[in-house]
Structures are given as structure tokens and as C-alpha cells.
Amino acid sequence: MLLKSDNDVLTLTNYRVLFDERGNGGSKYVGISLESVSSCGLVTRSRPLLLGLASIAGLLVFVQHGPTVLALLLIALAFVAAHFLTKSGVITVSSNGGEGIVVRAKGMDRERIHGFLDAVVEANSSSSEKHVLRQYRTSCARFCRTDASATGDDESWR
């Protein structure tokens, strides 16, 4: 094991990214080999329109009088609260043609998420380089002539 996420749902090993989640009456376990990882990232979503509506309600406080001021302040605070409560983020690890991994990022530290994703990319690069080298060696073993075959001493080339 190289790295685990804050909530221990994602694990990066030398060979794969593992997703193991249990709860809510079910479970899900997905593993993607590092050679099959095509992309990974953190996708966040917020609703800035809610902050705009809160600003409008806040500005209306200055032109109103009486009990409507308190109502407008409460509306503005409700819009601000809704903005922060509806912010969401997911970590995605996609594979080449197989099932991807999507994990809610709620409660995870953003810097640790970035560190985890950087480690996946780095491990994927190392794995891909090793895979290319293995393919080259396999190809070379099948198709490249050795010194013995170049001189005609190798019976298999005749």
C-alpha cells in the first residue's frame, strides 16, 4: 500500500487503485489496475447564484424599514447557508473501458486529495513505462536477432 484517502475508502497500491465502501445496506469494491487508469481528478460544484441572491437580499435591507429588514436578513443568511450546504465534490478515477471510481469528497482535506491524485498519476506513469519496457523486451525476444543468429549459428532462423 502506497497511500490511503482520509476516510480509508480509496487505496493506492503498487499495482492498482482500490475503492472499498460499505454502508447504507450495501457495499462496493472496485479495483482498477494502474495500467488501466485513463484519468483522475477532483470535480467540485457550487451554486454562486445563491450568493448573488443573498447579496440582493442584503442590499434590499438598506432601502427597507421596519420588520421587513429582519426578514430580508434572514433570507440573505438562508441563501448563504444554502450555498455552503450545497457545495459538493467528487473524486473520479476512470479506467480504459471498465467501471470507474467515483467517491464523494465530503469531509476530506483538499490538499490530501490533490496529493492522492498526484500519486495516482505518478504511479500510473511509472506503471506505463514499465509496461512499455516489458512489451519491448517481449517483442525483442521474439523478433530481434541475437549475435548467434546474425552470424548464421542459430538454427531457428534457417
**pTM > 0.75: yes or no:** no
Cα-based torsion angle of the residue sequence 132, 37, 109, 53 in order, rounded to the nearest 10 degrees: 130
* Domain 3-42+89-143: CATH architecture, name and number where available: Roll (2.30)
The answer to whether residues 45 and 89 touch, using CB atoms and an 8 Å cutoff, is: yes
Q: Domain ranges in the chain?
A: 3-42+89-143, 48-85
CB contact burial 15-52 (16+ within 10 A = b; e otherwise): ebbbbebeeeeeeeebbbbbebbeebeeeeeebeebbe
| pLDDT value of residue 131 | 55
**Rounded Cα distance, 112 and 119, in Å:** 10
pLDDT (tens digit per residue) in 99-136: 889 988 888 888 888 888 888 888 877 765 665 555 55
DSSP 98-153: S--EEEE-TTS-HHHHHHHHHHHHHHHHHHHHHHHHHHHHHHHHHH---HHHHTT-
